[in-house]
Structure 1
Amino acid sequence: MKSDASVRAWYRPMRARRRDEAHRAATPLELFFDLCFVVAVALASEGLHHDVAEGHVGHGLVSYLSVFFAIWWAWVNFTWFASAYDTDDDVYRLTALVQIAGALILAAGVPRAFGEADFTTITYGYVVMRLAAMVNWLRAAAGDPAHRATALTFAVGVGVVQAGWLLRLLLPPAWLMPAFVVLVVADLLVPVLGERRRQTSWHPHHIAERYQLFTLIVLGEAVLSTSVAIQRGVDAGNGQLWSLAAAGTLIVFAIWWLYFDRPDPLPPASVRGALTWGYGHYFVFSSIAAVGAGLAVAVDHDLHAGHASARVAGYAVAVPVAVYLVALWALHLPAKRGVGRVLFPAAAALVLLAPWLFAPVDLIAGVLVALVAVTLVLRHRTATRTA
């Protein structure tokens, strides 16, 4: 009996889990996986902050979006696979740890990607993660005959695209960006082709919880920037930073409130809806982390520690906040009617006007607080009418 239990702990056939499984929650391994991504997100946010503060806005934006794609896409693929096939045997744990090691390699390459436009280390870390994922898909193909075609499509697709990422390192500089775009599209097409063969059995509540947890990770960057503003204000005796810290705190609180507004949003059941929901969160996650970078730029401007103008510093906060509002409106609020249908885009437009006025970060905070208040009133009215 003990021998059989030991074998089951080492290796279990990788069969699809049920979509209606009760009490499905994030595992300690998934939480550990998320924790290791904190470093990569923090370094990407810091790279964006440094470039914008020094006046290199275009370079910083391209580098940030490219680096964040690698971070986000590796996390997304691990998350959705685990939702459908997590066996928690020793082999699965080892492949997850390999993916975590790849995430740490990826994080180590972020500073060089921003400073020298050298994505070699990031590519190696990314490929390590994705090849470990390919092993898991091969296990799924062997253990789940019903989804074998889907699993093999994923395994072959991941392998081919990773070969493309490695070959990209051999290209001349002029071809690197076009090749990057082509490979990003190829990576995004793999789940489209795989899920159309037969949809995997990911758990909607589990996926929603996992996305909420990653939202908290990227929110941590904005919290850190707010804390730094307070600390630097105390050290410099600059009272203006206290106002900026208060505004940053309100912005972070509002972003959290709007994402976690009740009821919790679930990904659509259809393949097209789930892909749109999952892919669209790239803009939610990347914009939240960029808010932290923008607040840091605003602190630098107030302390005269950077080269960004007042308007650039304002837009460093306004643009990611506006992107967040539009992305959240598109993904989580499709059923809104009346005023609710235009509320978030209108708030985004007001946010983009703030850098042309006095104290833009304070104004952005005011718009977000007003948006939270209006959404609460509308939700209360809807609930009252329904009752």
Structure 2
Amino acid sequence: MSHVNVVPLSRRMQPRDPHEPHRVATPLELLFDLVFVVAIASAAAQWHHGLAEGHLGDLVNFVMVFFAIWWAWMNYTWFASSYDCDDVTYRLLTFAIMAGSLMLAAGIPELFSTEQSGLVVGGYAVMRFAMVAMWLRAAAGHPEGRRTALTYASGIAIVQVLWIARLLLHGQTALLASFFALVVLELLVPIVAERHGITPFHPHHIAERYALLTIIVLGEVILASVQAVQGALEQGAEAGLLAIVVGGLLIVFSMWWLYFKREHAGLFEGGIRSTFVTGYGHYLVFVSVAATGAALAAAVDLVQGEAHTTDRVVGVALAGAVAVYVWCLTAMHAMAGAPVVETRVGVVVGLVLLGVAAIGPPVGVTVLTTGLVLAAAVAHHVWTTRAVT
């Protein structure tokens, strides 16, 4: 007789053991990631089209909306690592956050065209107020962590009201200034709350959750490579498309390798400062991967004659995204005790990529060169670590 999973309607939300053995992502968390990647794909698609049309100002909108997606994902992920009680109420609140992310995704095109979107703000509000309910449950079920939980709940609620009020503002200057001011407030909420007591997150579980989202976002890069393959099949063996196919595959494989060349759990065990730097720093990792996929897709459009921009613009967009990715990983690995030579290689790789793109060769050459340089960085890591062991 098969085992039946009985899910209680409600149970007391108590903290999880931060040293629980064999703690892995749950099926609910995997579904959560898949739903959120829809919003990520929508944001990346808008930047892809903006880049292909030469609307470079869309990069600001991309960075802004990606923050909302990432911040909602990260807040839930850390909470789930500490307080996942898996009852019906918890699952329904999680579903509410997923629904909010889909609302946000649906409003992204409007945000890019008008600078404001009630649907984006509404979707974000659904996600954030669901998190308030989560933290209030934690406050009720975990007396020792009540002050921390209530600080989270009140901080999230206050900032969210300000996000809603921001809909009343008009003009690019006011919108940008208010956005960055509210981002600062969002980032401060966990810093202030954790001073009242560290939430019992599981370092290895958190590291796995970050790694899984990195893999999922890398799917955007793979999708762009597939588009290049399709274009090559339709148009014949065009040199530019073939270069993008080869370079794109080298880029995604190398990005994966560079991310997983070292365990990241230790970065979440090195104290509160290391934890915040790594946790917040992953915003740049995720957004740069998504931007890489968007730039590759724009490169395909350019080679196929469907874009209205230049090789240099698309090349710099690609190289810049990959350079940010490499530099972020380099910084995190340096925090984990990477050798100085590894750090130097990471810095040089980013500079080389930007230098090649700035020259302005055909975009296929830039993509292929980027892939080859990343592959060389991987080879260097393999060779040096082999020599050490």
Give the TM-score category using the shorter length: over 0.9
Task: For 1:182-221, list aligned pairs within 5 A.
Answer: 182-221=181-220
- The AA in structure 1 aligned to 2:282 is H
Once the 2 structures are TM-superposed, how far is the Cα of residue 119 of structure 1 from its aligned partner?
Answer: 2.8
Aligned to 1:249: 249
Aligned to 1:11: 10
Alpha carbons 1:295, 1:316 under 8 Å: kept: no
Aligned to 1:376: 382
Q: CA RMSD in A?
A: 1.4
Name the SS of the counterpart of 1:10 in structure 2. coil
1:361 to 363, 367, 372: 367
Aligned to 1:280: 281
Aligned to 1:151: 149
- Alpha-carbon distance in structure 2 between the residues aligned to 1:80 and 1:42: 23
Residues 111-150 of structure 1, C-alpha deviation per residue, up to 9 Å, x if partnerless?
1111222232111101100100000100000100111110
Once the 2 structures are TM-superposed, how far is the Cα of residue 263 of structure 1 from its aligned partner?
Answer: 3.7
Alpha carbons 2:203, 2:265 under 8 Å: kept: no
Alpha carbons 1:297, 1:316 under 8 Å: kept: no
Aligned to 1:179: 178
Aligned to 2:31: 32
- Alpha-carbon distance in structure 2 between the residues aligned to 1:209 and 1:330: 19
Once the 2 structures are TM-superposed, how far is the Cα of residue 265 of structure 1 from its aligned partner?
Answer: 4.5
- The AA in structure 2 aligned to 1:50 is H
TM-score (norm 1): 0.95
- Alpha-carbon distance in structure 2 between the residues aligned to 1:62 and 1:375: 34
Once the 2 structures are TM-superposed, how far is the Cα of residue 238 of structure 1 from its aligned partner?
Answer: 4.8
Task: For 1:1-387, list aligned pairs within 5 A.
Answer: 9-57=8-56, 59-173=57-171, 174-240=173-239, 241-269=241-269, 270-334=271-335, 335-355=337-357, 356=359, 358=361, 359-383=365-389
Percent sequence identity is 45
Alpha carbons 1:137, 1:154 under 8 Å: kept: yes
- Alpha-carbon distance in structure 2 between the residues aligned to 1:249 and 1:64: 24
Residues 180-221 of structure 1, C-alpha deviation per residue, up to 9 Å, x if partnerless?
111111111000001111000000000000001100111000
Alpha carbons 1:207, 1:267 under 8 Å: kept: no
- Alpha-carbon distance in structure 1 between the residues aligned to 2:62 and 2:252: 20
- The AA in structure 1 aligned to 2:266 is L
- The AA in structure 1 aligned to 2:52 is A
Name the SS of the counterpart of 2:11 in structure 1. coil
Name the SS of the counterpart of 1:9 in structure 2. coil
Name the SS of the counterpart of 1:33 in structure 2. helix
Name the SS of the counterpart of 2:20 in structure 1. coil
TM-score (norm 2): 0.94
- The AA in structure 2 aligned to 1:352 is L
Matched positions, count: 377
Residues 328-370 of structure 1, C-alpha deviation per residue, up to 9 Å, x if partnerless?
1112332122311211011111111111164111111111010
- Alpha-carbon distance in structure 2 between the residues aligned to 1:168 and 1:120: 10
- Alpha-carbon distance in structure 2 between the residues aligned to 1:109 and 1:353: 36
- The AA in structure 2 aligned to 1:42 is A
